[in-house]
Amino acid sequence: MVSVNSEKVLNFLKAHYGQEYSKQQIADALNITVPAVTGTINSLIKKNYATTTREEKEVISEATETRKERFRMIKYHTLTESGLAYDPVAEEAAKAEQKAAEKARKAAEKAAAKA
C-alpha cells in the first residue's frame, strides 16, 4: 500500500511536471518531513520514475585558517515521462491480481495431483 506522504509527493511532482525541486522544497510545500520525501524520491528514482536533474553546492561556513569550508549538496529532482504515467494504485491492484491467479493455479495443480 502506498503511504499518504508518498502519494502527496508523487501528486506534487505530477502537478509540477518538468520543474525541478529539492527535497526540502517539496517537504516545505507539502508540510511533511524531508526523510518522508527522501524515501519516496529514492523509490521513484530506483523505478526510473524520477531523476536527479542537477546538484548545487551550498556553503554553510566559509573556510578559515584553521577550518575547511563546510558545505552541503542540494539535489534537484523531477519526474520522468514514465513517472508522470505511474499509477501506484493500479500497480498494487495488478500485483494483487497476479498473486491471486498464482494461488488459484497452485490450488488447481494440487487438486489435479490428488485426482
pLDDT grade, residue 37 (50/70/90)?
very high
Report pLDDT for 1.
Answer: 60
- At a CB cut-off of 8 Å and minimum separation 6, what does 49 contact? 79, 80, 82, 83, 86
- DSSP 8-state class, residue 21: E
Mean pLDDT for the chain overall: 88
Q: How confident is the model at residue 55 (pLDDT cuts 50, 70, 90)?
A: confident
CATH number at residue 41: 1.10.10.10
Query: Lowest-confidence range among 26-30, 100-104, 110-114?
Result: 110-114
If DSSP codes are grouped into helix, strand and coil, which group holds residue 5?
A: helix
Residue 108 pLDDT? 82
Number of residues that make up the chain: 115
Give the SS3 label for residue 35. Answer: helix
Q: Is the pLDDT of residue 107 over 90?
A: no
Is the predicted pLDDT of residue 73 greater than 80, yes or no? yes
pLDDT reported for residue 4:
87
Residue 16 belongs to domain spanning: 4-87
So what's the pLDDT on residue 89? 80
| 83, part of any domain | yes
Indicate whether 45 belongs to any domain. Answer: yes
Assigned domain for 109 exists:
no
Count of domains for the chain? 1
Q: Residue 19 — φ and ψ, nearest 5°?
A: -105, 150
When pLDDT is cut at 50, 70 and 90, the band that residue 90 belongs to is confident
